[in-house]
């Protein structure tokens, strides 16, 4: 028997360039250094029971990451466990909460994102033009899937998009989390389809919140 626990954490700054696999290994070491008795699988190559809700692409930050892990039966986490784990982690990774999960990751439906779109040369009324692109009834892009590359209409996978600025445009909104998923890279791809010159010269994004299908915050 084991206990299942969940972490709410952030991955920002230089830490956003840590790959998913390296992050899992980093979190495992952090938990062990914090004195958490992890539950391991059996067999010739035992590994700790750990899983992330929605693995982050390299270069995308987040202040709302969720990660589950198993501990030995009967373990009771101390109140200061989030601080202890954070102290054992690299700069840019911070644990906010440790708690017993009551919902499955499969219930996550939407991700709130915020980003910056940077243009070398400011575009007049750029925010208004981009808003019209994202408000279109159909936005067809080439999207990588398990079966290869296919044409996908991502308009139904985007909601509540807001843009403001000129040379640097701040974008915020919600994108589909899974089944199907939409990445921030797909958001940028939408600016290249039939709209030459709208794709930014540089962009950066961060996840800010997770929601279920009823738009309730997911924890």
**What pLDDT score does 60 carry?**
96
Question: Which CATH code, of 2.40.50, 3.40.47, 3.30.70, 1.20.120, is assigned to 108-211?
Answer: 3.30.70
Which two structure tokens, joined as six digits, stand for 48? 């700790």
Rounded-to-integer distance, Cα 203 and Cα 65, Å: 21
Q: What is the mean pLDDT of residues 133-143?
A: 88
Question: In 3-state terms, what secondary structure has residue 178?
Answer: coil
pLDDT in tens, 78-90: 999 999 999 999 9
Please tell me what DSSP assigns to residue 216: P
Query: What is the topology classification, in CATH, of domain 2-102?
Result: Alpha-Beta Plaits (3.30.70)
Indicate if 108-211 has the same CATH topology as 2-102: yes
pLDDT confidence bin for 196, thresholds 50/70/90: low
**What pLDDT score does 191 carry?**
87
Is residue 76's pLDDT more than 60?
yes
Share of the chain above pLDDT 70, in %: 96
Query: 202-211 and 61-72: which strand pairing?
Result: parallel
3-state helix, strand, coil in the chain (%, to 5): 20, 40, 40
| Per-domain boundaries in the chain | 2-102, 108-211
Rounded-to-integer distance, Cα 39 and Cα 151, Å: 43
* CB distance 182 to 158 below 8 Å: yes
Rounded-to-integer distance, Cα 113 and Cα 216, Å: 15
pLDDT confidence bin for 168, thresholds 50/70/90: confident
CA-closest candidate to residue 35, choices 100, 103, 91, 98? 98
Question: At 97, which helix (H) or strand (E)?
Answer: strand 93-99
pLDDT confidence bin for 164, thresholds 50/70/90: confident
Rounded-to-integer distance, Cα 95 and Cα 83, Å: 7
């Amino acid at each position: 028997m084991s206990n299942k626990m969940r972490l709410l954490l952030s991955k920002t700054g230089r830490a956003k360039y840590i790959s998913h696999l390296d992050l899992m290994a980093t979190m495992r070491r952090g938990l062990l250094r914090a004195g958490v008795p992890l539950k391991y699988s059996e067999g010739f190559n035992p590994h700790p029971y750990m899983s992330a809700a929605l693995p982050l692409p390299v270069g995308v930050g987040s202040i709302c990451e969720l990660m589950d892990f198993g501990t030995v039966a009967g373990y009771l986490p101390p109140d200061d466990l989030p601080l202890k784990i954070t102290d054992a982690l690299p700069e840019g990774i911070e644990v906010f909460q440790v708690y017993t999960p009551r919902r499955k990751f499969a219930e996550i439906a939407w991700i709130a994102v915020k980003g910056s779109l940077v243009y070398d040369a400011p575009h007049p009324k750029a925010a208004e033009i981009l808003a019209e692109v994202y408000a279109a009834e159909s936005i067809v892009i080439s999207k990588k899937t398990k079966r290869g590359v296919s044409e996908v209409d991502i308009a139904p996978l985007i909601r509540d998009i807001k843009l403001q600025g000129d040379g640097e445009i701040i974008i915020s909104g919600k994108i589909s989390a899974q089944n199907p998923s939409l990445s921030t890279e797909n958001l940028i791809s939408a600016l290249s389809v039939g709209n030459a010159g709208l794709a930014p010269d540089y962009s950066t994004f961060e996840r800010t919140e997770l929601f279920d299908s009823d738009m309730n915050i997911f924890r």
